Amino acid sequence: LRSPSAKTMRKLDLAGTFGRGRISSKRAAEAVRMIAGAGMDRLAELDLSWNSLGDAGPKALAGRFPGLRALTLYGNDIGPAGM
């Protein structure tokens, strides 16, 4: 995420990367905050399915990717507080 090329990325697929019991939902939300703060303004597609995000994950993403057209969050334990 520190690479200059990350800022020009259009698609990022991290499905199952830090979820499925590997880390807690709190740590998964921290990872999402790092992604959200990486300045990837050109990102159009983001897949964070199956990452144990919980409600904090979507909140960390809100408004951070101006060009985002597709966000996939299947298999995360997101309740009404994360909508």
Span 16-62, pLDDT tens digits: 887 656 677 778 878 888 888 888 889 999 999 988 888 888 888 88
DSSP H or E stretch at residue 3: none
Rounded to two decimals, what is the model's pTM?
Answer: 0.85
Torsion of CA 43, 44, 50, 54, to 10 degrees: 70
